[in-house]
A and B are shown apart, each in its own frame.
Chain A
Amino acid sequence: MALLVKQLYGLFNPSAPAPAAPADPDFADFAAAPNPAAPSHASNAFPGSSAAPTAAAGGLSSFISSPYGIQGRPYTKWYRVWERVTYKDFYQEFVILPILLVVVAVNVVGTQINKARMRAWAAAFVPLLEAEYAQVGQDKEAASSAGAPEQKLKQGKMSEWSTYATGRQNAAFTDVKISLHKRFNPLLWVFELVLSFLFESIPTPMERMLATTYVFDGKEKLMLPDATAGGNSSYDGFVWAVVHKDFMQQLRNDRYDLSLTATRDNAKLPEWATVMSESSEVTDALLTPELVKAIEQCGEDLEALIITDQPIDAPKKLNELVPRKRLTLTTKLPTTSTIPNLTPLFTLYLRLPDTLVQTAHFRPEALRKIRATREEEQRKIKRLDEEEKAEERKSASDKAKKEERERKLKGMGAEEQRKFLEREKAEERKRGQKKNTMRG
């Protein structure tokens, strides 16, 4: 204590000799050191001079061409950064910044290209939807207002836009989704391309339009509580498709409904397209000259036009087989120059619910084959279901038997238990012998 007082006295009395070494190492003596001393490497810069360094006068020129390396930087006021650093300290940034700029620029440009493609699509196809449906667009307000066509689309993922249309006779609603290349992230885009090359299970990234219409099929009253719609909007259930030949195998693998059909070339269609149908009568009724002409016109941009009432994923339960009628159109996403080729097909597609309600009623003989397929599929699922149930029953009864045996054993005395187990063993042995003799 006395020492501390003495030291404090020494601080306030400059004439008193400063202590050679502070007794307390945690105590920093700021008052005694008003100016920080330059570290050894800095003070080396100006041998024989402790005054303000001459480089301070250099200003910006010292930044560009400082004579000093990292060793021997002048030690100046903290804010005089330009006197202490040179461009050599920023090599890393010289590399990083341009790359950063390129990444940002590519992202911006890619997003703009995608948006332009989306806008071009919307400008051509949203009016077609609007001509057929009362409401186009996900939310009611935006849909009813007469905005630009692209405002009716909503961005889902970065590379996907979708829209929705409802309010039409015979069709409950239509979902449209357009997916584009990931132009905003070329690395990801290339990565996906490479993966799709290496693995069959990963689809090749493609720019496409996917439209699905859910038809009423006579269920207006069920779907709309205040439906007043008269007339019958039902038609016969079947699976029928016009597909591009390059996609027919993939569709057959991926979709349960199309794997129920047979592929038949049709003389009316161009050579790149084919029909997947359950019955030739259906094909004859649906492959109208207008449809053939529209398909011919879209010049290989069509991927598939599918009319179905069966699920896409293989059904595992019986109620998955209840028909849900849908119409699907997938095409390559048209460029501005090919858009006019696809609009007739899209218009026909939007009016397909009406056509089906009018024409898709077939003779019972024609439908017999189709119905037989459905019944066979139902039987398959029932059989699987029953097998599963039988297995469950068997495991349950086994479990009950085991419990019964344990309960019995618990109730017995030691001698009784021994006898019981012996008897069990003997029975098992007998059974085993029987088997052996049978085999022999």
Chain B
Amino acid sequence: MNPQITNLIIILVMMQASKKIPFEDPNVLWGVRALYLLSNLAIVAIYFYVGMQIDKKKDRTVLKYVEPAAMGSTEEPKAVTTTVHAYDKQQLKSLYKSQLMGIGMMAVMHLYFKYTNPLLVQSIIPLKGAFEGNLVKVHLLGQAATGDLKRPWKANAGFMGAMQQGGGEIKTDKKSIEAAERAGRGGAKEE
């Protein structure tokens, strides 16, 4: 099933379920907090293991693709030449970063605005999302990096993906790579 639909179902179900949970009870409250921390620790552990696997494989196959220009910019598309190893590392870094963002947001919600309900949903969704990430699929679940899992990976659909992608798809055909690779785009100073 589409992960976004399952996410939606989980959110709806958990929202109803969290109405029944007595968050006023300090024991329950600390239990939910512990659950949230545990789920995040599990995610970090998964990512850490994936990071170890990436370093262990150290696949130095060159990966070339053309990144579309950011939305609204007049720049030409950018050629990227990297290795599978560096690409995976970079993806992992962005995974860590987005997890950090999630925890930060949750901290503000819970500690400052005193919302408790999201703790429960946020203990489940990110953990589920971690297993749906391409990196985890390839390195932890041992799926072959072909077909949909062939690097470079498509940005995940949805609003955030659309924002980043903007100008269109990542191109991997030989012609556009060769055109963009020697375009002399480097060293441009932002003003």
Contacts and interface: CB of A to CB of B under 8 A. Distances in A.
B178 interface: yes
Contact of B81 (A197, A248, A314): A248
B189 A249 contact: no
A1 interface: no
A246 B86 contact: yes
Interface residues of A, number: 31
Interface stretch (A123-131, A181-189, A260-268, A401-409): A260-268
B188 interface: yes
Given A249-B80, A274-B62, A314 B86 contact: no
A254 B187 contact: yes
A259 B187 CA distance: 8
A313 B187 contact: yes
B186 A254 contact: yes
B185 interface: yes
A249 B185 contact: no
Nearest to B178: A262
Contact of B62 (A198, A257, A265): A265
18 contacts: A197-B93, A198-B97, A245-B83, A246-B86, A248-B81, A249-B81, A249-B82, A251-B186, A255-B186, A255-B187, A257-B186, A259-B185, A259-B186, A259-B187, A262-B181, A262-B182, A263-B62, A265-B62
Interface of B: 60, 62, 64, 79-83, 85-86, 93, 97, 178, 181-189
A262 B64 CA distance: 11
A263 B64 CA distance: 9
Contacts of B178: 262
A272 B59 CA distance: 10
A350 to B, nearest CB: 26
Contacts of B184: 256, 259-260, 314, 373, 377, 380
Contact of A314 (B85, B93, B187): B187
Contact of B189 (A252, A260, A313, A373): A313
B95 to A, nearest CB: 13
Interface of A: 197-198, 245-246, 248-249, 251-263, 265, 271-272, 274, 278, 311-314, 373, 377, 380
B186 A252 contact: yes
Contacts of A272: 60
A314 B83 contact: no
A253 B86 contact: no
Given A245-B62, A246-B86, A258 B186 contact: yes
A309 to B, nearest CB: 14
B96 to A, nearest CB: 8
A106 B99 CA distance: 34
A314 B185 CA distance: 7
A263 B81 contact: yes
B80 to A, nearest CB: 6
A263 B181 contact: yes
Q: Which of B60, B79, B86, B183 has the most CB of A within 10 A?
A: B60
Q: Which of A197, A249, A255 has the most CB of B within 10 A?
A: A249
